[in-house]
Amino acid sequence: MKRRSFIGLGSSIGLLASVLPASSLTASVKTENNEKRYQNGASPWPICLDTATIRPASLLEKIKIAAEAGYDGIEPWDGELEEYEKNGGNLKELGAQIKKLGLKVPSVIGLWNAIPDTMELFIKSLPETRRRMRMAHDIGAEHIQTIPNELSPNYNQKWVADRYKDIIEIGIKEFNIKPALVFVKYFTIKTLGQAAGIAMDANHPKAMVIPDVYHMYISDGGFDGLKMLKGSTIAIFQFNDAPASPAFNELRDEHRVYPGDGILPLDSIFKDLKATGYKGFISLEMYNPNYYKEDLLTVAKTGLKKTIAVLKKAGV
């Protein structure tokens, strides 16, 4: 599951400086009821580009593409940040450049194996957890995704919730970053309901989850549970679309398609999301190898254009 983009040494500032000012890329307006809107009023949420969507590009190229395409934020992966530092880059300086381009970093993916099966393993995992939190903090992220990807199927929910609470405390107190819980069909925590239950049992005011429409679909968890959440319990909302083929039980991450090009009820999903009162970012996340073969700026622009079309259809 872990994606890495390898980036080279060199003039990161020079590459980023070639992008147009953010004011010429996106705009926010206010409606008559003072609801803040984005994308020239087309969206009630700022729109983020998950870097996996244009994976072949370097991290610097992804930042440039996200800004030039008109996104409001970018969601990088920990492996990209690690590689950037290994090649001599400074994440705090990079975060400052991202901010100058008018982009935010709402989330970083992620805290891998953050909640293993035993206390011994949990304690052993904490140095890596802290390292990833530090990188996310340095680049200016608000959230980091907590991924229990090696948790056994017979897990004790309360034990997992207590460890998630520990991670929240470490994130907030040591790094001023808010860890949120992820669910993925291919891991033990597969559904929104399972993740929400763990977050509730953590009994922490900053416990949050990260819904992903694709995993809501392929995990058989469904979409109606979204209505039961308050918007303040959602850290970031990841979206995409699922094709009609291959067959449902054969769908993998690489089959994700542009919003509106598949069969997911995105219009009703976005209506339900708005009804929760959610105010954060929505993040376009795809891993489609066919898109990787195309011009990546065009892919990013197409993704944003199709996202806005879905939002307009939903009437949000």
Identify the pLDDT of residue 12: 45
List of the chain residues with pLDDT < 70? 1-33
Identify the pLDDT of residue 188: 95
Domains and CATH numbers, the chain: 59-314 (3.20.20.150)
What's the pTM value of the predicted model, to 2 decimals? 0.89
Identify the pLDDT of residue 26: 42
The CA distance from 71 to 39, in Å, is 8
- By CB neighbour count within 10 A (0-12 exposed, 13-18 middle, 19+ buried), where does 245 fall? exposed
